[in-house]
Amino acid sequence: MIPQDFIQSLLGRVDIVDVIDRYVKLKKAGANFQACCPFHNEKTPSFSVSPSKQFYHCFGCGVHGNAIGFLMEYSGQTYPDAIRTLAESVGLQVPEEKGPARPQSQQAPALTALMMDALNYYRSELKRSPVAIEYLKKRGLSGEIAARYGLGYAPDGWQNLESVYPDYKAAILKDTGLIIENEQGKKYDRFRDRVMFPILDSRGNVIGFGGRVIGEGEPKYLNSPETPLFEKGRELYGLYQARRAIRDANRVVVVEGYMDVVALAQHGVENAVATLGTATTATHVQKLLRLADNVVFSFDGDNAGRKAAWRALEVALPVLADGKAVSFLFLPAEDDPDTFVRAHGKDAFVKELDTARPLSQFLLGELAGREKMETEEGRARFLAEAKPLVAKIGAPALAALVRQRVGELSGLSSQDLGALLPRESAPSAAPASSYGSSYGSSRSRRSEPRSSPAAAEQLRIVGLLVNHPELAAQVELPAGARMTPDREAVRNVLERIREAGPGVTPAMALEVFRGLPEEEIVTTSASGIARELSEGHFDPWPEVSGYFQRWTEEEQKQELQELFVLIREDRASPAERERYSALMQALKSRNETQEMPSKV
């Protein structure tokens, strides 16, 4: 795990304006910078970046966060990778603490350089191989697409990489996944006589390869093994190249193979990615839902494709959010995305995407199709199969609608359905942690804020404290304060900001709450008052101090009432009587001050 004090120090070193300007061209607008929002389509700029507070906010879609949050949202990077990207930009090395997170090997920079050497070798070999070039041409790929995706060729032969790595027997080469050592200790190249597809991480580094056999041979596709750089369950082929197209379309297409991705790109469908020889994982879905509101899985229409689609559905259920859509496209059995787009073109494929089955329809249709729904026994089995799946749905509104549809299909009344299919809180895909959350964004799942006056005031005070963390040291909590849920959140936010120490910026204050119970309210509140704070100079002190003063007065009045009862019943101790007198005197002085006429 990455130490929190390093993260806070890093946020103090980077300038969010410089970070975002590398990806989105910013223009000066008063004290802030602005641009058209990279997270939704707009013509008038509503995306604002504050150099003083070190956070960004979109007044159109509500996305909000600091430099780390931006890299996670814009690039689809994980939390640790976003921190490493920022650290590299200011010449810092990220320290690691022992923890449950996957360690980033100290040799990672060396491994990355070795992988780049391999990429350059494979690309140069492609230019020398008429057979490989002809194969790609037959698949309809141009030189431009081959260059964009860094395609290469691993020639036949057992130790061709020895020309790339003079010390072919070096132990570190085994960690690249490019060299295999047999039981006799002999080393040889993993990839031989294959078209090579480099796998890039969110920063564009080569972390692995996929190799497609040119002629006959098995396996047709061969992937890098898991290494210190490469974890199949986290990475997606083509995501680095597709990010811009995904954001522009607000849709990502998930296909089964590398060739599907590049063939679609060749025909203008540039928002496609592929899993890497493994089933879709919750991490894959979470990553994609951070980048787009619509995820379409386009798998083959055969039994294997439908099984892969069902697995994708199951892992997607807990990470769904209302406002997001996951759907499934099944092409004719004789087609895959590669053959379909080559035969029918981009427009026909996009038209097919538009008809993809929503997750809810696929879920209920598959379950109902397995049973004899005209019989009571069939409907009972349908209900039994649906129950655990519906309970997993992480989107509250969608879960309610699917539950309602289950009742209609099973012929149950609302009352009977409620007893057999109770509303349960869907489990999250993973425990909340600083490594897993997508912080401060309208694209993160978020419950609606409560609408009571106390809750509204709480949101506002929390927002002011996060945007002006220096105020945390200037206010005092009432001694022995009684805690309502609303005030408990204010207290927790106040104390955590104080614990962060002096010099905390708003961006640092946001980071304090990542993965904590207060994260949601901090995100909502900080975003909620962003427009007001951006419109000019605003002094939050009277409002914040007034809130805590009223809190103190309410606590004192409550204490006075309790002490009065004790005194009236002659059960008060001398200390309690003395406290009652002190509180009465304080109340009298406060009333006299409030009644005093102001000077003209």
Per residue in 292-331, pLDDT (tens digit) is 999 999 988 788 888 999 999 999 999 999 989 999 999 9
pLDDT the model gives residue 528: 66
Q: What's the pLDDT at 101? A: 43
Which of 265, 275, 260 minimizes the C-alpha distance to 340?
A: 260
Of 268-282, 371-385, 445-459, where does mean pLDDT reach its minimum? 445-459
DSSP letters for 401-446: HHHHHHHHHHT--HHHHHHHS---PPPPSS---TTT---S-TTS--
CA pair distance 406, 64, nearest whole angstrom: 37
pLDDT at 396: 92
Structural class in CATH, domain 364-420: mainly alpha
**Helical spans, DSSP H, in 47-142:** 67-75, 79-89, 108-127, 130-138
78 close to 89: Cβ distance less than 8 angstroms: no
454 or 126: whose pLDDT is higher? 126
Pairwise pLDDT comparison (112 vs 434), residue with the higher score: 112
Which among 143, 209, 135 has a CA at the least distance from the CA of 179?
A: 209
170-179, 290-299, 387-396, 538-547: the lowest-pLDDT one: 538-547
The whole-angstrom separation of Cα 227 and Cα 176 is: 7
Return the minimum-mean-pLDDT range out of 402-416, 531-545, 566-580. Answer: 531-545
CB–CB of 238/161 below 8 Å? no
Q: What residues contact residue 182 under an 8 Å CB cut-off, 6+ apart? A: 188
Answer yes or no: are the C-beta atoms of 81 and 62 closer than 8 Å. Answer: no
What tokens does 178 get? 């490019």
The confidence score (pLDDT) of residue 514 equals 77
Other C-beta atoms closer than 10 Å to the C-beta of 64 total 24
CA dihedral 198, 85, 20, 58 (to 10 degrees): 90
Cα 395 to Cα 293, 316, 414, 424, 549, distances in angstroms = 13, 11, 20, 12, 40
Q: Determine the Cα–Cα distance for residues 513 and 521; give it in Å rounded to an integer.
A: 10
534 confidence band (pLDDT: 50, 70, 90) = low
In 279-319, beta strands by DSSP E: 294-299
Q: What backbone torsions phi and psi does residue 202 show, to the nearest 5 degrees?
A: -65, -15
pLDDT given for residue 350 in this prediction: 96
pLDDT band for position 480 (cuts 50, 70, 90):
low
Among all chains, which residue has been given the structure tokens 């879920």?
363
φ/ψ (deg, to 5) at 484: -85, 165
pLDDT at 100: 43
Q: Is 320 helix (H, G, I), strand (E, B) or coil?
A: coil
What is residue 414's predicted lDDT score, i.e. its pLDDT?
A: 82
Select from 3.40.1360.10, 3.40.50.970, 3.90.245.10, 3.40.50.300 the CATH code of 248-354: 3.40.1360.10
Identify whether the C-beta of residue 132 lies closer than 8 Å to the C-beta of residue 214: yes
| pLDDT for residue 123 is more than 70 | yes
Higher-confidence residue of 215 and 377: namely 377
CA distance 175 to 227: 6
Grade residue 600 by pLDDT with cuts at 50, 70 and 90: very low
End-to-end Cα separation, the chain, in angstroms = 61
Q: Taking residues 98-124, report their average pLDDT.
A: 76
Residue 107's pLDDT is: 67
Q: What is the DSSP letter of 32?
A: E
What whole-number distance in Å separates Cα of residue 407 and Cα of residue 401?
10
**pLDDT reported for residue 593:** 62
Phi and psi dihedrals of 329, rounded to 5? -115, 125
Average pLDDT over residues 400-414: 92
pLDDT band, very low/low/confident/very high, at 432 (cuts 50, 70, 90): very low
Within 10 Å of residue 60's Cβ, how many Cβ atoms?
A: 17
Q: For residues 297 and 281, is the Cβ–Cβ distance under 8 A?
A: no
* pLDDT class of 438 with cuts at 50, 70, 90: very low
Q: How far is CA 92 from CA 2, 33, 228, 337, 514, in A?
A: 13, 26, 20, 43, 22
Domain ranges of the chain: 4-89, 108-223, 248-354, 364-420, 547-591
Is 280:353 a contact under the CB 8 Å cutoff? no
**Separation CA 175–CA 96 (nearest Å):** 20
Pair type for strands 294-299 and 251-255: parallel
Least confident piece of the model among 42-51, 216-225, 410-419: 410-419
What's the mean pLDDT when you consider all of the chain?
A: 86
pLDDT > 60? residue 563: yes
> 293 burial class (0-12, 13-18, 19+ CB within 10 angstroms)?
middle
Q: Could you tell me the two tokens for 398?
A: 């969608």
Label residue 192 by pLDDT band (50, 70, 90).
very high
For 227-231, 363-367, 409-413, 529-533, which range has the lowest pLDDT when averaged over its residues?
Answer: 529-533
Residue 446: pLDDT band by 50, 70, 90 thresholds?
Answer: very low
Per-residue pLDDT at 25: 93
Decide which of 179 and 512 is more confident: 179
Residue 2 has pLDDT above 90, yes or no: no
| Over residues 566-575, mean pLDDT | 90
More confident residue, 94 or 447: 94
Q: What is the pLDDT of residue 447?
A: 40
pLDDT for 448: 41
Contact, 466 vs 522, CB < 8 A?
yes
Coil vs helix vs strand at 373: coil
User: Hey, what are 79's tokens?
Assistant: 């939390």
Could you give the percent of the chain with pLDDT greater than 90? 48
Comparing C-alpha atoms, which of 285, 291, 289, 290 is closest to residue 248? 291
Interval 27-58: pLDDT, tens: 999 889 999 998 887 889 999 999 988 989 99
What local confidence, expressed as pLDDT, does residue 505 receive?
A: 82
Are the C-beta atoms of 274 and 306 separated by less than 8 Å?
no
Region 525-534 average pLDDT: 66
Residue reference for tokens 């309610």: 400
Give the pLDDT band of residue 535 (cuts 50, 70, 90).
low
Query: Which helix H or strand E contains 48, and what residues bound it?
Result: strand 47-50
Number of residues written out for the chain:
600
CB 292 within 8 A of CB 251: yes
Cα 115 from Cα 555, distance rounded (Å): 64
* pTM reported for the whole predicted model: 0.68
Q: Does residue 522 have a pLDDT over 90?
A: no
Omega before 95 cis (within 30°)? no
Residue-level pLDDT at 440? 38
Is pLDDT of 476 > 70?
A: yes
The predicted model gives 581-593 an average pLDDT of 78
69-83, 136-150, 351-365, 388-402: range with lowest mean pLDDT: 69-83
pLDDT value at residue 409? 95
- In angstroms, rounded to a whole number, what is the distance separating the alpha carbons of residues 386 and 402? 10
What the block records as the tokens of 525 is 């509140």
* CB-neighbour burial class of residue 202 (10 A; exposed 0-12, middle 13-18, buried 19+): buried
pLDDT value of position 97: 61
> What gap in Å lies between CA 22 and CA 287, rounded to an integer?
21
| Pair of tokens at residue 110 | 């060396």
Pure H helices in 180-281: 239-249, 258-266
Tell me what the mean pLDDT of segment 488-502 comes to. Answer: 85
Half-sphere exposure (Cβ direction) of 442: Cα atoms closer than 13 Å = 18
Question: Which residue's entry shows tokens 């700029």?
Answer: 45
Q: Which of 44-53, 90-99, 468-477, 524-533 has the highest mean pLDDT?
A: 44-53
Instruction: Please check whether residue 337 is in contact with residue 298, taking contact to mean a CB–CB distance below 8 angstroms.
Output: yes
Per mean pLDDT, which range of 182-186, 261-265, 366-370, 390-394 is the poorest? 182-186
Pairing verdict, β 251-255 and 272-274: parallel
- pLDDT tens, residue by residue, 132-172: 999 999 999 999 999 999 999 999 999 999 999 999 999 99
CATH code, 4-89: 3.90.580.10
Please, which pLDDT band fits residue 449 given cuts at 50, 70 and 90?
very low
Q: Tell me the fold of 108-223.
A: DNA primase DNAg catalytic core, N-terminal domain (3.90.980)
